[in-house]
Structure 1
Amino acid sequence: MSQFKLIEGIGHNFKAHRDLSVKFGDLTKITGDNEEGKSSVLEIPTWTLYGTDTFGGKMDPTPTNYKYDHVMAETLLEVDGKLLKFGRGIEKGKATYYINDVPSKASDFEEIVKSLIDKDLFLGLFNPLYFFSLHWEKQRELMLRYSTPPTQKEVFAEMSRASPDQKLKDIKLNPQAEKLDELVKKHTLPQLEEIHKKNKNDKDTAHKKAQGRTETLEEQFRQLPEVPEDIEAIKAEDAELVKQVRDIHAKIELADEPKRKQAVLEGTLENVRQQIAAAKTRYMKVHGEEIAEECSTCKRPFDEAAKQAAEASKEERKKPLRDEHDKLVARRKELEAELAAVELVDVSELWEQMRALEHRRDATAETIGWYNRRQSLQADLEKAQADEAATLASRNESIFILDAIKAYEAKAAELQAAKVQELFQTLTIRLFKEQKNGDIKPDFVIDRDGKTPTQFSLSESIRAGLEVRDVISEQSGWIAPCFIDNKESVTRYKAPRGQLITCQVIEGQPLNIESEELSHENHQ
């Protein structure tokens, strides 16, 4: 345990005190009438160290009823056997600081004070009513600051306890504790809570979409026509029909060959006939030419030899034209003979057979098409159902983990509250509260016999404050001075750990300070 003692407090022009020196003992009694400055004595240590009153509030220590040159408060402390003297003053409107009578910077002063003891802890130990002046969150933080929370292993075990007398080694983790025990190897509980809150919300939305997808596919599947169970027989029949259609189509193709040949011959024959007509025209043109009687230039009549030569030339030009015509006529006769030899085949019956087969095949193909559609839709439906199930499983897993975390927090809160509660004798402490949705939220309520601190009388507040500060002293490992103001209001109380300073109003009496068993004498 660390020990913090007040050895001496000195005030110069400190409120009502022009010059005051107080030596504190293990028990220091301050008495006097109202307005005699009893409470100001208690403010010398707090203003020296922190510049505040005993409740941590700002305060102005300058006198209001007499003139002064400067203000000074000094406090001699003993911390774990080491003497330290601190001073704080106001000179010409400026703050001054001293450490062991040596002027110091504000930052150095505050750093050393802070290193000795936390401000809230000191004020909570020094003033029993300080704790009740704090916001509940600060009260809770100060109460738990030095309290060791239960370990995860403890909480998991207590979550799984089957009976109060069950031995720890016999406890088998329940599913929630077992799951969390596995997950906390990778993530902290707050991280798990964030992960699975997000996953639950995401999967809520995804599951609704997946349900809609599944319902749509189920409705589409119901609307499809039924197909025969022996689909393989239908497929075999369809394949045979396709083969028969192809065979007939091949026969029709063969049967169409003479027709195609006829068409080609007729086309060729027509072309040859046109060539014959053209050749005849060319021949007749030469054949109809007249032999001139005279020269077209000199107009001299041709003699018989010239006329014969002209006739011979004409005959010479007619001969190739006649040969060409004769050849074309011969080709025409060949084509006419070939065309006359073509025999056409009637394929109307084959077409009838093929159409009948195709009609039957339409039915089998339609059945197979519906079967394939059902198979495809069935696969889509099974995938949608699997996706929906996986989404739901992930969502339910997150809900399970979140519920497990709630159960963990509830049990941890219960264990921690019980651990803290064991330190109190007359007060009941509530550290957590359960929300309507089951969430465990931090809380802090002090109760005695159904009354909260706001309902306490002054004496009840003092006794409750002393109990709280002794618990904080025990938890923090600090023994520090404590004062009881308005002692006349409380006739019975448990003496606090550490130095005790009492202030009591005695009508008509001037300020009087008595110390017993002075601490500094024990170190001389």
Structure 2
Amino acid sequence: MKVTIERLVINEFKGHRRLEITGSNLVKIDGDNGKGKSTIADSISWLFYGTDAMGKTLDPLPTTYLGAETYIEALIHLDQKPVLFRRTLSGGKTSYHLNEDPIKAKQFDEHVKNIVPRELFLSQFNPMFFTAQHWQEQRKQLTQYVQEPTNGEVLDKLSSVEKEMLEAELKQRELDKIEEKARETVKKSEAEGTALRSRIRTLQEQGEADKATIESCPIAFNQIDDRIAEIREELTQMTSSGIKERRAALKREIERRMNDGRRLKSEADHLAVQPAPDTCPTCKQGLPHSHIENVMTAQQIKINEKKSAMQNLKMEIQKLNAELDLLLEGEAVFDPKPLLDEMAMLERVKAAASRIAEMNEKVSAAEADLTQQTKAFGRANYMISCVKNFRAKRAELMVEKISALFTTVTVRLFDYVASKDNYNPAFEIERNGVPFRLLSLSEKMKAGLEVATALMKLSGSHYPVFIDNAESIVELPQVPSQVFISRVVPGPLKIESDGKQEAKAS
């Protein structure tokens, strides 16, 4: 779609009383400062949007005289189809006409929006408007016409391993979800890996005591079963009379009860020398006298109980000794205790070996699980790296697509954030490697014209371009649309349309 202004009528608008301009492919506007050159650009934007050429609020009323009716009228060609727009401000009220028919403000705005959408029109019409917007608006406006690189295009730029990792995943979920899943796997695998390593250490530590038991065995482990069989055979073949066995049993019982008596005496002696506590073990405050007496009474009861038990043991030992004296002592009694102790020791060694075998199985299973977790951890970490590389390559391809639209202009679309190891959206125009904010006025104008031309190509809509202060530009770039060129030239306002001089402004 191509929009051109065939005729522009400016009536009682700011410094102009009456001005008519016949449009053409090239309209030259010359005059000294303060002659209203920039006002012509403002009149066109006010007609459509009620703003100046920078999109800001504008008071259109005359500045040096009193006017009766302020209006702007423009006959535009929309792909060769004429449409007449008019906005009027009179008596503090604004009225609108379309093809000389009065319409409401909402209808007028809707027609304008369909033909000359505000941001797109102003970005072409005023080369300084685009870069005056917030960077997010600039980015959004430019990138909306450029298709983001497809997953396939990006994957083709990655390594074969990265492509293999991401290709199947991208068919199932979005890139952010892939990264989210990978990070969850890393977190889970790390926690499970830590738990498995702790379990392996615990199992191995538990096995150390059993290893010591096995190492202390005086015979080889493969000989234990044979030795146990020998001991059992030896115990079976023991021959000793009932008297000998009874005497041995009585002696063992007497010894056991004497040990019990010695233990009870030691406990009673210990209790007897224990002082009664006079402070609370918790709060460290002194205890009342009644409480101390209760403790001492309870302590004495325990001592008496142990002495009573000792007396009972003494009587039992006397009875056992009496029974032992009645038995005639014959030949020496065979004592099976050493053999039984040896067999018990060998059984402990076998039990320790069994536990170690079980422990080794558990350790092997835990190590296998740890290997799987380590692989999952490594794969997820690599997936995160692949996602980052995918984003970086996608950003690079997007920049290449945008930069291909320009000749001297480049665009920075992303900023690398080292702390996050990621790319954040950004936007800054550069011309010949110099950031826009550092360019001279003429260089800024050239950059803006190049952006305007790119927007024409991208959107398919060609709107008029108004180049203000063109005297500062040595060589103007070619623009594929209607152009208004304003230059500061000493003298009155003079307007030419393709060599034809317009009437001077009144």
| Common fold: TM-score over 0.5 | yes
CA contact (8 A) 2:410 2:433 kept: no
Alpha-carbon shift at residue 11 of structure 1 (Å): 3.3
Alpha-carbon shift at residue 485 of structure 1 (Å): 0.2
1:189 is aligned to 2:175: yes
Q: Choose which of 363, 374, 399 in structure 1 pairs with 2:381.
A: 399
1:418 is aligned to 2:400: yes
Taking the aligned partners of 1:494 and 1:22, their CA distance within structure 2 comes to 24
1:507 is aligned to 2:493: no
State the superposition RMSD in angstroms.
Answer: 4.0
Q: Choose which of 424, 431, 438 in structure 2 pairs with 1:441.
A: 424
Amino acid at match of 2:173: H
* SS of equivalent residue, structure 2 residue 147: coil
1:488 is aligned to 2:471: yes
Taking the aligned partners of 1:88 and 1:241, their CA distance within structure 2 comes to 121
CA contact (8 A) 1:85 1:101 kept: yes
Taking the aligned partners of 2:392 and 2:7, their CA distance within structure 1 comes to 48
* SS of equivalent residue, structure 2 residue 380: helix
CA contact (8 A) 2:53 2:122 kept: yes
Alpha-carbon shift at residue 189 of structure 1 (Å): 1.7
Amino acid at match of 1:475: L
Change (3 A) 1:93 1:210: farther
CA contact (8 A) 1:126 1:480 kept: yes
Taking the aligned partners of 1:132 and 1:28, their CA distance within structure 2 comes to 24
Alpha-carbon shift at residue 405 of structure 1 (Å): 1.8
2:161 alignment counterpart: 175
Change (3 A) 1:235 1:108: farther
Change (3 A) 1:474 1:236: same
1:471 is aligned to 2:454: yes
Amino acid at match of 2:428: V
1:59 alignment counterpart: 58
1:369 alignment counterpart: 351
Alpha-carbon shift at residue 245 of structure 1 (Å): 12
Change (3 A) 1:148 1:117: farther
Change (3 A) 1:228 1:479: same
Taking the aligned partners of 2:196 and 2:83, their CA distance within structure 1 comes to 73
Alpha-carbon shift at residue 358 of structure 1 (Å): 4.3
Alpha-carbon shift at residue 475 of structure 1 (Å): 2.2
CA contact (8 A) 1:245 1:354 kept: no
Change (3 A) 1:17 1:228: same
1:454 is aligned to 2:440: no
Identity %: 30
Alpha-carbon shift at residue 104 of structure 1 (Å): 3.6
Change (3 A) 1:448 1:94: same
1:389 alignment counterpart: 371
Unaligned segments of structure 1, at least 5 residues? 161-173, 257-344, 519-524
* CA displacement 1:122-171 (0-9 Å, x = unmatched): 211111122221233333333322123332222222224xxxxxxxxxxx
* CA displacement 1:477-510 (0-9 Å, x = unmatched): 222211110111112122211000011122231x
Amino acid at match of 2:445: I
Taking the aligned partners of 1:101 and 1:247, their CA distance within structure 2 comes to 131
1:140 alignment counterpart: 139
Taking the aligned partners of 1:206 and 1:109, their CA distance within structure 2 comes to 66
CA contact (8 A) 2:210 2:353 kept: no
1:74 alignment counterpart: 73
CA contact (8 A) 2:214 2:352 kept: no
2:83 alignment counterpart: 84
Alpha-carbon shift at residue 239 of structure 1 (Å): 8.5
2:211 alignment counterpart: 225
* SS of equivalent residue, structure 1 residue 480: coil
Matched ranges for 1:296-307 at <5 A: none
- Aligned residue pairs, count: 414
Taking the aligned partners of 1:5 and 1:61, their CA distance within structure 2 comes to 23
1:168 alignment counterpart: none
1:22 is aligned to 2:21: yes
Amino acid at match of 1:194: E
Change (3 A) 1:31 1:159: same
Taking the aligned partners of 1:196 and 1:87, their CA distance within structure 2 comes to 60
Change (3 A) 1:386 1:91: farther
Change (3 A) 1:361 1:156: same
TM-score, scaled to structure 2: 0.70
